[in-house]
Structure 1
């Protein structure tokens, strides 16, 4: 490997600008994103810790700990007083061309890798320290009056919401907020239409609430108007859909399609719930029916995948009537989110460092999705994913057999058929991309094993 020395000033400033947070893990995540995205090339020498500490205004010991994390991940190698260098994340070597063994990337194995849930990669999420400190800066801390949405958060939401909302409110995590909205719109005994494929657990919980879910099929532009029209014949109380399609098989909703759907729904009394589960991770979150049907649309935006689940604050914005019902349904109308967490969320929504971290996470998930799709295609498998999807869907002839054979080899994937309420003639393996390794060899290994399972070849190796 040829060593390339960075110009100290420019590199130091560029890296300093990308650092988010003040912890070793947050700093390591920032640099890991630059390395994995190719912004910092293999073989390049990194700035000294002292120069970076001065420029980034980060304590030296935090940087030292971050360098240790990066070495453990095989992303950098240190040559004593010779300095630290960027390693090749896929073929780690020392700057002089030797094999990097002590600091090889630590892959925990497929048994320890979450390929089902689509939950966020914690190493890509923000350090909340500064946000939580900012959240404490409020004049009415501990006031016994309940603030459903604080002034700073309301102002931040108004600047970033895709349509003029009649009212805003908050709830806990994104799934909680969606279910709360469904409860507000649909009393027991109701029918609710929902776009397919359905997020696992949502349909089962709806049934537990006495609500009957019915599926609406999608094509590449989103819910199909003819399918929604058929569902409307059953007089659903609400229609739930995901504009950015993070769980979708191959779609993201276009504004043209949203307009078509709004025209059909305008002739009904059906509530519309927009499940914005990607939140800030979505490249484009502008698609909505809110401007067309302001009295009937409620958008639920989750920030868990972007900022971390412990923030425990999602936002609801839209129909004042439905928000009023949702507040009443939440713990009999007495529950309210902490002002500290609300103001911390407002701080994150407006933060420049937040934007950089979200862009890095978005690129990482996009890269992992693309790498898996390409590897599956190379194995001759039919696989699809939405443009911003957190799931890759692999078509198989015998879904149950493939899932069982893979599980016997330590690879647990999600069921596909259960996500289609109206049934499907195809079998699918559902693979979450968020925790996939960035090593192309491991992805090729996974794709090859999936191909064997799809062809029924893995059984030959079972005792």
Structure 2
């Protein structure tokens, strides 16, 4: 592979800090502009070309080495790591490839370093006071959500340790033991264990290509559902992202049940397709909508910060369920999240990752369809749903091949006409040969005679 000259690389670099340079090189690697095996310019040549110190470039290369994106060899210079060389999953036998938990590809995450360093210098560090959300993070969230907080409307925010905790707090605070809640299905991975642990009943609300079906929601409300949980962005849906028209229809249905609380789950946060953080019933029914926004998949699990947004009385009730209302999140992590939400380099990294994930979804669907499988994924989904006659037998057969998937019954309340497998797209390769091989493994784990679930 030919080297890239310092002059050529410099044309792609507008940043001048080590973090900024490293981030832009990451983006070039993600976009394929810099490919595996390509040798980078020497630190001295690139430093001279863009007008920074040799130490600045050396620090940038060090950050890239820590991310397993480049390696430096004595007398061989610094080169881009070939896909799968270091730190990547083993696609040949699928060991270590997470197709179950929808965890992000760590190679696509922004760096936390600059945000953490800045957070350690904040004047309120180690203060004994307790805030449920820092002003810096609240302002960043208000900007991302598209509107400032309105005191007259009682808008409020709280930082929690994860989207899962946020959903647990929201569900527990609005539904007493034995109550019934309506849940969009398929539900997000693992969510159905939450109402079960709280002693709640559930009723499924199926989706079509526009979102939850209004007639099904009406039936759930008629049955006495006190809350309705859905994912507007269709993060794990086989079919939809909520449309504006469907949001209006759902709001009309919900107006007939004024005590029902809406819980909106946004597990992808800024990684959501189209318009991040939108659409939302919050714009139509703000006085009874709680939004749980996760950032683990955009910025990494160790950020351990999610945000719950909603009217003050609902946020207060949710906070009260968290260690009696006395618990709060680390200021270091809250400030780091606030920095990432404002930082242009982090935004570019997230945008690049969003494009990569969408490409993986598209290629995988193409491979599965070409293999004769019935597979679907919504336009913003991190899950591909594959029809199988016996989901548990298929999952067991695949596990023997190193392919670990989830079964549909873990995400559906209503019994489905056929079995379903759910495969996460986040860590799939962008290589059709490998994806064709995966599709063949799934095909061999199934039997003939599939019926149509997606009608």
Q: Shorter-chain-normalised TM-score: which range?
A: 0.7 to 0.9
Give the whole-Å Cα distance in 1 for the aligned partners of 2:78 and 2:129: 54
- Rounded Cα–Cα distance in structure 2 between residues aligned with 1:437 and 1:327: 40
1:107 aligned residue: 90
Q: 2 CA distance for matches of 1:79 and 1:86?
A: 15
Say whether the 8 Å CA contact 2:6–2:46 is kept in structure 1.
no
How far off is 1:146 after superposition?
Answer: 0.9
Aligned to 2:396: 404
1:231-310 pair list within 5 angstroms = 231-268=220-257, 269-283=259-273, 284=275, 285-310=277-302
Q: 1:432 to 1:408 in 2, by over 3 A?
A: same
In structure 2, do the counterparts of structure 1 residues 361 and 53 end up closer, same or farther at CA, with 3 Å as the change threshold?
Answer: farther
Superposed CA offset, 1:331-359 (max 9, x none): 11100112222111111110011111101
Q: Is the 8 A contact 2:18 2:60 kept in 1?
A: no
In structure 2, the CA distance between the partners of 1:147 and 1:280, relative to structure 1 (3 Å rule), is same
2:70–2:79 contact (8 Å) kept in structure 1: no
Task: Flag the 1:178–1:19 CA change in 2: closer, same or farther, 3 A.
Answer: farther
**Inter-partner Cα distance in structure 2 for 1:196 and 1:370:** 22
Taking the aligned partners of 1:15 and 1:151, their CA distance within structure 2 comes to: 33
Cα RMSD of the aligned pairs, angstroms, is: 3.0
Residue 378 of structure 2 corresponds to 386
Q: Contact 1:12/1:51 (CA < 8 Å) preserved in 2?
A: no
8 Å CA contact 1:20–1:357 kept in 2: the answer is: no
2:119 is the alignment partner of 1:119: no
Q: What do residues 71-124 of structure 1 show as CA deviations (whole Å, max 9, x unaligned)?
A: 67xxxx98956x66778859xxxxxxxxxxx99987263132111010111221
Partners of 1:314 and 1:176 in 2: CA distance = 9
Q: Alpha-carbon deviations, 1:132-171, whole Å to 9, x = none?
A: 1222333332222211111111111111114555111111
Residues 452 and 430 of structure 1, relative CA distance in 2, 3 Å threshold: same
Consecutive unaligned residues of structure 2, counting only runs of 5 or more, are: 150-154, 449-455
Equivalent residue number for residue 66 of structure 1: 64
- Are 2:97 and 2:428, in contact at CA under 8 Å, matched by a contact in 1? yes
- Conserved? CA contact 2:89–2:95, under 8 Å: no
- Residue 41 of structure 1: how far off its partner (Å): 6.0
Question: For the Cα contact (< 8 Å) 2:18–2:57, is it kept in 1?
Answer: no
Per the alignment, in what secondary structure is the counterpart of residue 354 of structure 2? helix
**Structure 1 66/455 Cα, relative in aligned 2: closer, same or farther at 3 Å?**
same
Aligned with residue 338 of structure 1, among 327, 330, 333: 330
In the alignment, what sits opposite 2:452? Answer: none
Does structure 2 retain, via aligned residues, the 8 Å contact 1:16–1:52?
A: no
Q: Structure 1 residues 351 and 34, CA, compared in 2 at 3 Å: closer, same or farther?
A: same
Matched length: 434
Please, which of 138, 141, 153 is the counterpart of residue 154 of structure 1? 138
Indicate if the aligned counterparts of 2:192 and 2:410 stay in contact, CA closer than 8 A: no
Secondary structure, in 3 states, of the residue corresponding to 1:137? coil
Q: 1:450 to 1:290 in 2, by over 3 A?
A: same
Q: What is the rounded CA distance, in whole Å, between the counterparts of 2:128 and 2:5 in structure 1?
A: 56
Q: What TM-score results when the alignment is normalised by the length of structure 1?
A: 0.85
Selected match of 2:42 from 29, 48, 51 = 48
Distance 1:105 1:401, change over 3 A: closer
Cα distance in 1 for partners of 2:133, 2:32 equals 41
Contact 2:211–2:246 (8 Å) recurs in 1: yes
The runs of 5 or more residues in structure 1 that have no matched partner are 91-101, 457-463
Q: Select which of 397, 412, 430 maps to 1:420.
A: 412
Match of 2:282, SS state, is coil
TM-score (norm 2): 0.87
| 2:161 counterpart of 1:167 | no
- CA-to-partner distance for each residue in 1:303-362, whole Å, 9 max, x for gaps? 111111211111111211100101111111100112222111111110011111101211
User: Do structure 1's residue 39 and structure 2's residue 29 form an aligned pair?
Assistant: no
For 2:254 and 2:88, the matched residues in 1 are separated by: 52
